[in-house]
């Protein structure tokens, strides 16, 4: 705060210490604003012409903004929900495989419910959803069940079981639909991995939104996205993996995660979680009803 100085025709910017006065002087010098540092019986200040005061205040305000202490992501701990729903979902994937069998055991069923791009583009909307619950063989389902126990659990601990399940279904189905559209024809896929990369995308986008809310610098705010891309490179590009579905699952998860982080900055109450879980299960049930209709 500037105030009149005893010296005629000057204003004074008070400084608590010599170090602070020197910092003010450096800022003013960088803007070529004439000034002088004064020690008046231990009271430090910077004196300048009143005509330069507005420019000096603007320079000091800009300096304060640029050098404000960076927010700490730990200042607002990420909320968590105590749930084992991700483990139970992994068990459900294995149980579903016990009913449907693999591609070789149930070719007729897979022909009606896999993510067949030609059929999807022809209007069979249910396939991107039903394909998430089918797996080619035992190794396939066990690998996805393990990943679900890890990433599905992380997602549901962050957003709750109901919202987490809905996000898995939405991002997985959207990723499958995008993969089908990308390939155009002669493309078939099954498995929950698209949804699990969707979960990685949701978690990354949720943390990105949280960091921006805390005004953390962009360079550090984007680190969760870099981590998600690293997981995609490590886990989603191996020999025999459906790389297209994994990429589109991650992309769909990022979009869904931004929406979820803005809509639900904190996990919803149990009753609301139950409602969202019912909506997700209803979507899967309706998709299977359409797939098995005569």
Indicate whether 219 pLDDT > 80.
no
pLDDT of residue 242: 86
Buried b (16+ CB within 10 A) or exposed e, 243-261: ebbbbbbbbbbbbbbbebb
Q: Which 3 state secondary structure label does DSSP give 9?
A: coil
**What average pLDDT does range 245-250 have in this prediction?**
95
Same domain? For 53 and 177 the reply is no
The average confidence (pLDDT) of the chain is: 88
Q: Is the pLDDT of residue 237 over 80?
A: no
Same domain for 58 and 144, yes or no, is no
Tell me whether residue 14 is in a domain: yes
Residue 276 lies in a domain: yes
pLDDT of residue 75 exceeding 60: no
Instruction: Tell me what percent of the residues of the chain surpass a pLDDT of 70.
Output: 93
Asked if 126 and 211 sit in the same domain, the reply is yes
Q: Is pLDDT at 1 greater than 60 in this prediction?
A: no
Residue 104 lies in a domain: yes
Give me the CATH number covering residue 62.
3.30.70
- Residue 34 falls within a domain, yes or no? yes
- Gap between the Cα atoms of 116 and 34, Å rounded: 74
Note the pLDDT tens digit of each residue in 255-283.
999 999 999 888 999 999 999 999 999 99
User: Quick one: the chain helix, strand, coil %, rounded to 5?
Assistant: 65, 5, 30
Are 46 and 170 contained in the same domain?
A: no
- Whether the pLDDT of residue 6 is over 70: the answer is no
Pair 35, 84 in one domain: no
Same domain, 53 and 183: no
Distance CA 33, CA 91 (A): 70
CATH code: domain of residue 103: 1.20.1540.10
- Final residue of a domain: which of 27, 53, 68? 68
- Give me 269's structure tokens: 């109450």
Same domain flag for 79 and 64? no
Domain count, the chain: 2
Position 107 confidence tier, pLDDT thresholds 50, 70, 90: very high
Q: Does residue 189 share a domain with residue 264?
A: yes
Both 180 and 53 in one domain: the answer is no
> Residues 95, 61: one domain?
no
181 is in which domain, residue-wise?
75-292
Lowest mean pLDDT among 36-40, 125-129, 152-156, 177-181: 36-40
The per-residue pLDDT for 234 is: 85
Q: Does pLDDT of 69 surpass 60? A: no
pTM: 0.74
Our CA angle for 255, 274, 128, nearest 5°, is 45
Q: Examine the domain organization and report whether 61 and 93 are in the same domain.
A: no
Last residue of a domain, one of 53, 68, 83: 68
Domain boundary among 68, 85, 100: 68
Asked, for residue 1, whether it belongs to a domain, the answer is no
What is d(CA 30, CA 119) in angstroms, rounded to the nearest whole number? Answer: 67
* pLDDT tops 70 at residue 3: no
Domain assignment of residue 2, yes or no: no
Query: Averaging pLDDT over each range in 44-48, 150-154, 183-187, which range is the top one?
Result: 150-154
| Residue 187 within a domain | yes
Q: Is the pLDDT of residue 70 over 80?
A: no
How sure is the predictor about 8, in pLDDT bands with cuts at 50, 70 and 90? low
Lowest mean pLDDT, pick from 72-76, 137-141, 226-230, 233-237 = 72-76
Evaluate if residue 27 carries a pLDDT over 80.
Answer: yes
On whether residue 178 sits in a domain, the answer given is yes
- Residue 138: the pLDDT is 95
Q: Taking 70 as the threshold, does the pLDDT of residue 205 lie above it?
A: yes
Residue 15 sits in the same domain as residue 125:
no
């Amino acid at each position: 705060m500037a105030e009149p100085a005893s010296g005629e025709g000057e204003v004074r910017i008070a400084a608590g210490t010599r170090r602070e006065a020197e910092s003010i002087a450096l800022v003013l010098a960088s803007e070529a604003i004439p000034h002088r540092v004064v020690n008046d019986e231990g009271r430090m200040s910077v004196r300048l012409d009143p005509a330069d005061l507005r420019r000096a205040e603007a320079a000091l305000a800009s300096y304060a903004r640029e050098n404000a202490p960076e927010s700490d992501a730990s200042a607002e701990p990420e909320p968590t929900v105590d749930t084992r729903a991700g483990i139970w979902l992994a068990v459900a994937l294995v149980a579903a495989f016990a009913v449907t069998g693999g591609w070789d055991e149930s070719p007729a069923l897979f022909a009606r419910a896999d993510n067949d791009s030609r059929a999807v583009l022809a209007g069979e909307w249910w396939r991107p959803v039903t394909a998430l619950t089918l797996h080619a063989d035992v190794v396939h389902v066990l690998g996805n069940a393990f990943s679900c126990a890890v990433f599905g659990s992380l997602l549901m601990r962050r957003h709750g079981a109901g919202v987490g399940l809905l996000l898995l279904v939405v991002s997985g189905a959207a990723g499958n639909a995008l993969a089908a559209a990308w390939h155009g024809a002669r493309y078939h896929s099954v498995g929950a991995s698209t949804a699990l990369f969707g979960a990685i995308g949701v978690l990354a986008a949720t943390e990105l939104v949280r960091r921006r809310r805390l005004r953390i610098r962009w360079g550090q705010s984007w680190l969760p996205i870099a981590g998600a891309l690293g997981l995609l490179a490590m886990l989603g590009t191996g020999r025999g993996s459906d790389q297209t579905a994994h990429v589109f699952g991650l992309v769909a998860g990022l979009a869904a995660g931004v929406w979820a982080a803005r809509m639900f900055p904190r996990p919803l109450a149990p009753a609301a979680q139950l409602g969202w879980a019912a909506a997700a299960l209803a979507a899967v049930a309706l998709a299977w009803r359409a797939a098995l209709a005569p």
